[in-house]
A and B are shown apart, each in its own frame.
Chain A
């Protein structure tokens, strides 16, 4: 068996026969003779198992969070189509937390990005020589982590196949078996040579490759600013006096990345003011005061707006009016 001198990404398919033959035309004493062809010398192309898993992606997540996907790519650099089993690891040193309940799913190709309903395959079935697939590690993120905390997640892909006369091959719809490298001298059939390099979780020449991605906790920064947007006095001016109507504006600004959940803005009315009924607006949309389906209400002398889950970046403007007593 020979060590490859890499020049081609994938190479001639395993089991191919390469044939060489020369022909000779000649004359004797000026008389042309029938040409001669040498018996062909043939070579059988062995199977070279090689794959790469590429990670290095940082995925921003909230704390806690469920089913957070982070994408890897798996490339088959072998000279035959193969199946690839997938393993996710998460107890990895060098980070602040360990993600939990991790699984690996193969991108189906139906919709870009991880789709829980579509991307359900747990191994790569029949990946052609030279082809690449996106694989997601999908993990839960624990609660109460600090902003900027990191958690590493590793993906290991293992080339698998079923052995026949042309080496290991993939079977549609089923994960092939674990492969064994041909030991010692040449055999009569196609020999198997592992040519993969070491990954983050595996050694060189083991028909596996692996890489890490990073979950980075991002807690968005919430800024709430209340201002007096305008004052309208009884005579049409802007003097603050009994009878003047004040328009209050609350600006809710979410910066950074991530999602905050169950955000509720409450604002008790200032003393000596009377709420102007029906004056609450959220992003310019007028809301009712009743405790009902819309997300705003006025009760117990307090303006209450439920914003629910808000993904950063976001900017929400709430206004309401009150009359000075």
Chain B
């Protein structure tokens, strides 16, 4: 019965999602949504400058884009801890060092197209002359977040990073 329930929920959600065009979400026990934003400096009447985020659909090379992925437990059971979110660095983009964020997450990177993941300092690149060196942030190909807690029913969280358009 439980499995049947789960399937029903999934089907319903899938149906619902087909009617909403603007939400970039995938369905399962977890709703996974990715967005792209940029920060724009806004000056108020007093001359104070603040950074405001807005959704971006077009940008010129050099623009730093903030990619955020939101996950939400949409079933009535907790999701086990240590679930994994993988995000390849988008095409024609360069990861901005130190920008990956994710509360309650262990953050790992890959420099080989997602085959192996490690902490920033563990990642090595072999230069043309065969010498090994620590990989640069711009050489990262993938980011992995491992969520260290159980995700209770109805709870959500977010992870993200910044990458500039080459």
Partner-B contacts on A (CB < 8 A): 1-2, 4-8, 10-12, 16, 18-30, 33-34, 36-48, 79, 186, 190-191, 193, 195
Contacts and interface: CB of A to CB of B under 8 A. Distances in A.
A5 to B, nearest CB: 5
A28 B69 CA distance: 20
A6 B62 contact: yes
27 contacts: A4-B61, A5-B64, A8-B166, A11-B60, A12-B165, A18-B91, A18-B92, A18-B93, A19-B90, A20-B36, A21-B87, A22-B34, A24-B30, A24-B83, A24-B84, A27-B80, A28-B78, A28-B79, A28-B80, A36-B32, A39-B26, A41-B36, A43-B56, A43-B59, A43-B90, A45-B61, A46-B59
Contact of A22 (B64, B79, B87, B91): B87
Contact of B25 (A20, A29, A39): A39
Give the secondary structure class of A's interface.
Answer: loop
Interface residues of B, number: 48
Contacts of B78: 28
Contacts of B65: 18, 43
Closest 5 pairs (CB-CB, A-B): A11-B61, A26-B83, A4-B62, A39-B24, A12-B92
B85 interface: yes
A5 B83 contact: no
A26 to B, nearest CB: 4
Contact of B69 (A2, A22, A42): A22
Contacts, number: 153
Contacts of B64: 5
Contact of B38 (A2, A24, A26, A47): A2
Give the secondary structure class of B's interface.
Answer: strand
Nearest to B70: A38
A193 B62 contact: no
A158 to B, nearest CB: 20
Interface in B47-92: 56-65, 67, 69, 71, 75, 77-80, 83-88, 90-92
Contacts of A193: 60
Given A38-B24, A40-B34, A22 B61 contact: no
Contacts of B164: 5, 7
B33 interface: yes
A74 B85 CA distance: 47
Contacts of B57: 42-44, 186
Nearest to A12: B92
B136 interface: no
A224 B90 CA distance: 75
Given A24-B85, A26-B80, A40 B59 contact: no
B152 interface: no
Given A6-B62, A41-B35, 16 more contacts: A4-B62, A7-B62, A8-B166, A16-B91, A21-B87, A22-B69, A23-B32, A26-B84, A28-B77, A28-B80, A38-B26, A43-B59, A43-B165, A47-B60, A48-B62, A186-B58
Contacts of A19: 90-91
Nearest to A30: B80
A22 B85 contact: yes
B29 A23 contact: no
B27 interface: yes
B60 A38 contact: no
A16 B165 CA distance: 11
A4 B63 contact: yes
Contacts of B77: 28-29
A89 B26 CA distance: 60
Contacts of B32: 22-24, 36-38
Nearest to A32: B80
A139 to B, nearest CB: 37
Which interface residue of B28, B57, B60 has the most chain A CB atoms within 10 A? B60
Given A11-B165, A20-B90, A24-B83, A38 B63 contact: no
A18 B38 CA distance: 14
Contacts of B58: 1, 43-46, 186, 190-191
B77 to A, nearest CB: 6
Contacts of A48: 60-62
